Amino acid sequence: MIALRLHDKGDLRLHEEPVPTPGDDEVLVRVTAVGLCGSDLHWFNEGAIGEVCLTQPLVLGHEFVGVIETGERTDERVALDPAIPCGRCGPCIAGDENLCVACRFAGNSIDGALRSQLAWPGRLAHRLPDSLPDAEASLLEPLGVALHALDLGRVQAGMRAGVYGCGPIGLLLVQLLRRAGVDVLVATDPLAHRIVAAEALGATVAVETRRAGAEILPSSAAGGVDVAFEVAGEDDAIATAIDTLRPGGRLVLVGIPTDDRSSFTASTARRKGLTISLCRRMKASDLPRAIGLAEKGHIELSPLVSERYPLTNGCEAFASLSERRALKVVVEPQQGAA
């Protein structure tokens, strides 16, 4: 089989490798689609993400779907949860598997999905509906993250919200908020094509900017939004979110900062008495929730898929990701395969 491995910053290489042998609790999966994520870009550009650094060649990719090739579920199309929690630590026992202290995560602590085949725990492989194409289904993991962020925001119908950063997760949040009866009063991003998408998917006001203040809010929301989602990983987005929140509002940080640090003006946040939550991946129940929403047509995924590449063109896919010219870049490992 073919695998795409990151050897160093910006150094991706194709390898011919043996087909993995699944363990007792695993299934062999033929990978059909992998969405590239901002965290993959951190690995590619920095050779690290947070405190985790590249120590040996790593297969990236954690937004993936495929077809089971072994056992009773052979030929079943599945979306896979990229996190393998230990099931024994305090967070796991409390139902917070996304906070597992010994979690193994695809494309991070263990090899991910940018390869032809992989072995993965069968319990983490969720059946896909026939109506959902593979490329769109690769967005189910980010949709799961958006669902977890939505829960952290404690949104209720009639609330007013802001989304700061309109990459795929931000655009999915715009849709989820609208579906929850929340008025997405404002969305911001420095990239014009993302602003166009945010408007099309339901943002009341979408502003092409990196940093702005309360002046971007419509007059009907002069007091500020109730909840703000920062999905850019940038201090400017955090500052914009804080400036547009009402006193007593809630800020959910979803983005991953490049230098592993986030900062903001404490006095502004303190005077407003803001509640700040940080979003860590998704909970175990969020991927099945995402599949259900997509199957029923409650969330649009196809408009977000803008570029598709075979695995053999993985370097071009990461070039597109680095240039941020697409909404979602999808790699299809079986495309062009013999």
CATH number, residue 259? 3.40.50.720
**In the predicted model, is pLDDT for residue 243 greater than 90?**
yes
Q: Quick one: 265 and 321 in the same domain? A: no
Q: What does the pLDDT read at residue 167?
A: 95
Tens of pLDDT, residue by residue over 176-197, are 999 999 988 899 999 999 999 9
Please compute the mean of the pLDDT values over residues 305-322 and round it to a whole number. 93
CATH at 309: 3.90.180.10
List the strands of the sheet with 11-16, edge to edge: 11-16, 2-8, 58-59
Q: Which of 98-107, 108-117, 218-227 has the lowest mean pLDDT?
A: 218-227
Q: Quick one: 214 and 323 in the same domain? A: no
3-state secondary structure of 219: helix
Q: Quick one: 165 and 214 in the same domain? A: yes
Single out the residue of 72, 67, 75 nearest to residue 120, CA to CA.
67
Structure tokens at 143: 């949709």
Q: Quick one: 104 and 178 in the same domain? A: no
337 found inside a domain: no
Single out the residue of 252, 254, 34 nearest to residue 140, CA to CA.
34
3-state secondary structure of 24: coil
Q: Quick one: 119 and 22 in the same domain? A: yes
Q: Are 140 and 291 spatial neighbours (Cβ–Cβ below 8 Å)?
A: yes
Q: Quick one: 247 and 203 in the same domain? A: yes
Q: What does the pLDDT read at residue 337?
A: 61
Tens of pLDDT, residue by residue over 85-111, are 999 999 999 999 999 999 999 999 899
Residues spanned by the domain of 204: 143-278
Pairing of the two strands 52-53 and 48-49: antiparallel
Q: Quick one: 80 and 45 in the same domain? A: yes
**In the predicted model, is pLDDT for residue 338 greater than 60?**
no
Q: What does the pLDDT read at residue 336?
A: 66
Q: Quick one: 119 and 9 in the same domain? A: yes
**DSSP character at residue 326:** S
Structure tokens at 319: 């070039």
Q: Quick one: 240 and 220 in the same domain? A: yes
288 found inside a domain: no
Q: Are 202 and 174 spatial neighbours (Cβ–Cβ below 8 Å)?
A: yes
Tens of pLDDT, residue by residue over 52-83, are 888 899 999 999 999 999 999 999 999 999 99
Tens of pLDDT, residue by residue over 192-214, are 999 999 999 999 999 999 998 88
Confidence of residue 258 (pLDDT cuts 50, 70, 90): confident
Please compute the mean of the pLDDT values over residues 264-291 and round it to a whole number. 95
Q: What does the pLDDT read at residue 249?
A: 97
Number of domains, the chain: 2
Q: Quick one: 189 and 267 in the same domain? A: yes
Q: What does the pLDDT read at residue 47?
A: 86
Q: Quick one: 123 and 227 in the same domain? A: no
Q: Which tops the pLDDT comparison, 98 or 221? A: 98
For residues 157 and 275, give the distance between their C-alpha atoms in angstroms, rounded to a whole number: 19
Q: What is the residue-averaged pLDDT of the chain?
A: 93
Q: Are 170 and 67 spatial neighbours (Cβ–Cβ below 8 Å)?
A: no
286 found inside a domain: no
Q: Quick one: 149 and 251 in the same domain? A: yes
Q: Are 118 and 333 spatial neighbours (Cβ–Cβ below 8 Å)?
A: no
Confidence (pTM): 0.94
Q: Which tops the pLDDT comparison, 337 or 314? A: 314
